[in-house]
Amino acid sequence: MNDKIEGYDYPPRVRFEILEKELDSYRRAADFLNFDNTDVLCVQHEFGIYGGPAGSHILALLKEVRMPVVTTLHTVLRDPSPVQRKVMDELAQRSDRLVVMAIKGSQILQETYGIPASKIDVIPHGIPDIPFADAAASKSQFGVEGRPVLMTFGLLGPGKGIEYAIEALPEIVKRHPGTVYLVLGATHPNLIAREGEKYRLGLERLAADRNVKENVIFYNQFVSLEDLAEFIGATDIYLTPYLNQEQITSGTLAYVFGAGKAVVSTPYWHAQELLAEDRGILVPFRDPKAIASAVCSFLDDPARLEKTRIEAHRMGREMIWPAVADRYLESFQHARADRKTASRTAFAGWTLASRPYDLPPLRLDHILRMSDSTGIFQHAIFNVPNFSEGYCTDDNARAFILSCLLGELVGESHTENLDRLSTSYLAFLAAAFQPNTGRFRNFMSHGRLWLEEAGSEDSHARAIWALGFGAARSRNEGHRRLCVKLLEPALAAVESFSSPRAWAFALLGIHEFFRDTPTDDHIGAIRTLLTDRLIRIWNEASTPQWPWFETSATYDNSRLSQALIGSGRWMNHPEALRIGLESLHWLASIQRTQEGNFRPIGSQGFYIQGGTRAHFDQQPVEAQAMVSACLEAYKATLEPFWQTEARRAFEWFLGRNDLGLALYDSTTGGCGDGLHEDRVNENQGAESTLAFHLALSEMNQSQHLVALPPQATP
């Protein structure tokens, strides 16, 4: 698994590499395994290893492999989120056997996920065979001979609870003055990327504040297995003051326990099981006094310390790699014996109907070309930015949403560009907002001069949509906080708006905001108000022959339906869901040609009730809005019809339209500004290019779509 485009320097036995965020990479891995007639696929599963929501990209591989699958679960959640639950259910369904490393894991699989015990193997975490030895023999090489040594090792992060061990040190040192606490391991790379060495530096300051600087050693490096064995050898007592009770596996705990070391630990699940029957000491979470008391009880009583070590080492013989390997071989053989289908022919089931939908590769060239440090330009002449028409809030809001979406989808190779782009787009939105009026301005000249005091209601609401999206889904903490800071004052103006589309755009932003913020009474009240307004105009305007919100269908039509579907899902509002689905179904029916192509309502006259609908000019934003709304409808209903409609709308960009001409230009990464009666508009402006890339991103997410059940929030 590679989390960066250049990969790593693997040994020759590694024959295939998977890019974490690239969905197609998982499918290519499945093809490789199938062609190779692999006997068994062993998957090591942790939610953070694989790309997609809750690591769902791995499902793309499992859907296509033809051999038995044995999956080892490093995390088993008793209270998973809806996305995690959906991934786990499908993972279990597509695995012939599941391996957990603790009895507690097996219990949770049965009780929470309904998996039969006959499908589960409990195999302990493997450890190297470290001989039982006196710690004194290893201490001299580290210059700590004659001193009690405590140790914690592994990737550092706040969940390790090391601060509580440091808080315990003054009492320990008071009774055993020479005690040394060794914290071995580098800070977790994800934490480094977010906040640098803030956690480690905080621990160092804490040690200084508690006057134990001379008793704490930080060794900020990854160490080889050989070096780790030396460090373990010098340890008297191992500390795991972890803060998460639901940790089902700890490799560090297994290593040290199996080497015959006394352990003082908080009662997370793996520790409860491993240290039962006096094989160690369990202490409450976040309790420095209890840690100090437990450590001193070992140091005060060498006989007890030795007895605990002997029992741990004895039990650890069941965990050494040769013993664990034998257990895995038994599981693999069991999986092969259980598999009913004998054939593993690589081409079996490779019809077009059974293969995943092929999507164009991501190409950000034109997005980069259209963007500068101020934001994204509105228009282009062919594929060249048109400086003279400057920037607008509408497009920078769309661009910021795209940058957040891509942050969930793409790998390390695009991170630098995305960070730079998303910062520019959000900075534009922040500059556009006027706190004194509570409104966003819209148009800015190339010379960075605002061209009006307040933008349209629609542009204001699109900015709100972007802020709600960023508050919940940006990878950048500063971006999320700025979005939240701007959102509430910007929402105040929406209550006086009269544009139904502005209501819908604002609702979409609020729905996104509530993904990450479960309660906010004021914003929740605005969501209820806007939902009620859309329902009211529906009740006033719709008829059996014209099931729509107004007497005309104009632009961004499906956003009205999408907003109400979202209200139905997340507010537990059946009427909103019914209206959203009914109106979207009607839109789908009138925007489909006899040949089955998507034909959006044209902007040359739109569609007036009782009149003739305009067929041209067809706008990319209409196709993108239809993709979004149909995917939202699928998540709400799980009806395959909506996936088909989303694909139909997306293919409009690629040439499945009235003229049979592609609007998306794969050579530039841009998209034509519209489909005229006789040609594609060759100018590749921001709105149209962003529409394509937003639709592509949403379609990519739908390839591993994890449909969530309706869920009420305030």
Same domain, yes or no, for 147 and 108?
no
Same domain, yes or no, for 115 and 163?
no
CA 587 to chain centre: 32
Is the bond preceding 617 in cis, omega lying within 30 degrees of 0? yes
Residue 577 to residues 531, 536, 635, Cα–Cα distance (Å): 11, 14, 12
Q: What is the pLDDT of residue 506?
A: 98
Same domain, yes or no, for 700 and 568?
yes
Instruction: Map residue 312 onto helix, strand or coil.
Output: helix
Q: Is residue 331 part of a domain?
A: yes
* Residues 394/460, Cβ–Cβ less than 8 Å: no
pTM over 0.75: no
Same domain, yes or no, for 99 and 159?
no
Same domain, yes or no, for 308 and 180?
yes
Question: pLDDT tens digit string along 278-313?
Answer: 899 999 999 999 999 999 999 999 999 999 999 999
Same domain, yes or no, for 229 and 306?
yes
Q: Is residue 438 part of a domain?
A: no
Same domain, yes or no, for 188 and 74?
no
CA 172 to chain centre: 42
Q: Which two tokens stand for residue 208?
A: 């200084």
Same domain, yes or no, for 564 and 683?
yes
* Residues 522/589, Cβ–Cβ less than 8 Å: no
* Residues 189/174, Cβ–Cβ less than 8 Å: no
Last residue of a domain, one of 338, 371, 395: 338
Q: Is residue 277 part of a domain?
A: yes
Whether the CA torsion 605, 606, 607, 608 is positive or negative: it is negative
Q: Which two tokens stand for residue 395?
A: 């497009």
Do β-strands 262-265 and 281-282 pair in parallel, antiparallel, or remain unpaired? parallel
Burial 433-463 (b: 16+ CB within 10 A, else e): beeeebbbbbbbeeeeebeeebbbbbbbbbb
Last residue of a domain, one of 319, 350, 366: 319
Q: What is the pLDDT of residue 704?
A: 54
- The Cβ-side half-sphere exposure at 222, using a 13 Å CA radius, reads 3
Q: Which two tokens stand for residue 158?
A: 């706040």
Q: What is the pLDDT of residue 409?
A: 80
Strand partners, 552: 608
Short-list 528, 480, 534, 472, CA closest to 502: 534
Residue ranges for the chain with pLDDT beneath 70:
340-357, 411-415, 703-714
Do β-strands 41-45 and 69-73 pair in parallel, antiparallel, or remain unpaired? parallel
Say which residue the tokens 């795991």 belong to: 240
Q: Which two tokens stand for residue 85?
A: 């639950």
Same domain, yes or no, for 86 and 148?
no
Q: Which two tokens stand for residue 452?
A: 């009006």
* Residues 487/467, Cβ–Cβ less than 8 Å: yes
CATH of residue 245: 3.40.50.2000
Q: What are phi and psi of 433, to 5 degrees?
A: -80, 135
Q: Is residue 431 part of a domain?
A: no
Say which residue the tokens 């859309």 belong to: 534
Give the range of the structural domain holding residue 588, as residue numbers without chain letter.
Answer: 542-708
Residue 583 CA to residue 539 CA, distance in Å, equals 12
Say which residue the tokens 């062993």 belong to: 42
Q: What is the pLDDT of residue 355?
A: 55
Short-list 31, 87, 53, 106, CA closest to 356: 31
Q: Is residue 115 part of a domain?
A: yes
Q: Is residue 246 part of a domain?
A: yes
Q: Is residue 549 part of a domain?
A: yes
CATH of residue 666: 1.50.10.20
Last residue of a domain, one of 277, 310, 338: 338
3-state secondary structure 403-449: HHHHHHHCCHHHHHHHHHHHHHHHHHHHHHEECCCCEECCEECCCCC
Residue 714 CA to residue 708 CA, distance in Å, equals 17
Opening angle at CA 510, ends 508 and 512, nearest 5: 70
Say which residue the tokens 């840690």 belong to: 291
Short-list 97, 38, 39, CA closest to 72: 97
* Residues 522/488, Cβ–Cβ less than 8 Å: yes
Q: Is residue 239 part of a domain?
A: yes
Q: What is the pLDDT of residue 354?
A: 52
Burial 242-276 (b: 16+ CB within 10 A, else e): beeeebbbbebbbbbbbbbbbbbbbebbbbebbbe
Residue 534 CA to residue 557 CA, distance in Å, equals 13
Residue 173 CA to residue 125 CA, distance in Å, equals 33
CA 21 to chain centre: 10
Residue 509 CA to residue 496 CA, distance in Å, equals 17
Instruction: Map residue 2 onto helix, strand or coil.
Output: strand
How many structural domains does the chain have?
Answer: 3
Same domain, yes or no, for 121 and 155?
no
Q: Which two tokens stand for residue 263?
A: 């352990």
The amino acid present at 260, given as its one-letter code, is G
Strand partners, 149: 180
Same domain, yes or no, for 89 and 163?
no
Residue 62 to residues 143, 410, 640, Cα–Cα distance (Å): 51, 20, 21
Whether the CA torsion 398, 399, 401, 405 is positive or negative: it is positive
Q: What is the pLDDT of residue 512?
A: 95
Q: What is the pLDDT of residue 714?
A: 29
Residue 187 CA to residue 608 CA, distance in Å, equals 62
- The Cβ-side half-sphere exposure at 445, using a 13 Å CA radius, reads 5
Residue 413 CA to residue 19 CA, distance in Å, equals 10
Same domain, yes or no, for 166 and 193?
yes
Residue 125 CA to residue 154 CA, distance in Å, equals 15
Q: What is the pLDDT of residue 350?
A: 53
